Amino acid sequence: MKNKLTKWPTLALWLFFLAWGSTATVQAQQAQQILDRCVQAFGGKTAITSVKYIKSSFLAHYHMLEQSERPTGPYIVGYEDGSEIKDLTNLAFRRELSSKSLLAQSKQVDIFEQGLLVRDFSGRAFPLPRDFGQQAQLYFLQSPIYILQQVLKNRASLQYQGKKILQGVPNYHLTFKLDQTSITLFINQYTHLLTSVALETELPHGFFWSIWGRFKAQVYYSLYHLLPGGVRYPQQWDLFRHALPYKTYTFTKVSLPQTITEQEQAQLKIAPKTRAMAKRSNRGNVQSLKIKPKGKFTISDGLFGWKHNWNVGVVVQENGIYILEAPMSSGYSQQIIQAIKQQYPDKKIKGVICTSDAWPHIGGVRQYVADGIPIYTQQLNQPILQRIAKANHAAYPDALKKKPKKARFRLLNKKLVLDDPTTPMEIVPANGEGAERMLFIYFPKQKTLYASDMVQYSARRKSFFMPQYLSEVNQVVQQEKWEVDTVFAMHTAPMSWQKVIDAIKKAKQTNK
Give the span between the Cα atoms of 353 and 357, in whole angstroms. Answer: 11
Q: Output the pTM of the full model.
A: 0.90
Give the residue extent of every domain in the chain: 40-281, 289-508
Is the N-terminal amide bond of 74 cis, ω within 30° of 0?
Answer: yes
158 secondary structure, DSSP code: -
**Would you say 148 and 158 are in contact if contact means Cβ atoms under 8 Å apart?**
no
**Would you say 193 and 204 are in contact if contact means Cβ atoms under 8 Å apart?**
no
Per-residue confidence of the chain (512 residues) as pLDDT tens digits?
Answer: 545 545 555 665 554 554 445 455 667 789 999 999 999 999 999 999 999 999 999 999 999 999 888 998 999 999 999 999 999 999 999 999 999 998 889 999 999 999 999 999 888 888 988 889 999 999 999 999 999 999 999 999 999 999 999 999 999 999 999 998 999 999 999 999 999 999 999 999 888 999 999 999 999 999 999 999 999 999 999 999 999 999 999 999 999 999 999 999 999 999 998 888 877 765 567 888 889 888 899 999 999 999 998 999 999 999 999 999 999 999 999 999 999 999 999 999 999 999 999 998 999 999 999 999 999 999 999 999 999 999 999 999 999 999 999 999 999 999 999 999 999 999 999 999 999 999 999 999 999 999 999 999 988 888 999 999 999 999 999 999 999 999 999 999 999 999 999 999 999 986 65
Domains 40-281 and 289-508 share a fold: no
pLDDT of residue 26: 60
pLDDT in tens, 224-251: 999 999 999 999 999 999 999 999 999 9
Give the span between the Cα atoms of 55 and 32, in whole angstroms. Answer: 30
Give the span between the Cα atoms of 284 and 401, in whole angstroms. Answer: 21
CB count, 10 Å around CB of 5? 8
pLDDT in tens, 291-316: 988 889 999 999 999 999 899 999 99
C-alpha distance from residue 510 to each of 305, 430, 472, 506 (Å)? 38, 28, 20, 9
b/e per residue 420-437 (b: at least 16 CB within 10 A): beebbbbbbbbbbebbeb
HEC string of 406-432?
CCCEEEECCCEEECCCCCCEEEEECCC
pLDDT in tens, 118-135: 999 888 888 988 889 999
Q: Which residues fall within 8 angstroms of residue 133, CB to CB, at 6 or more apart?
A: 112, 115, 116, 117, 282
CATH classification (class only), 289-508: alpha beta
Within 13 Å, how many C-alpha atoms sit on residue 147's CB side? 32
Domain 40-281 has CATH 3.30.70: no
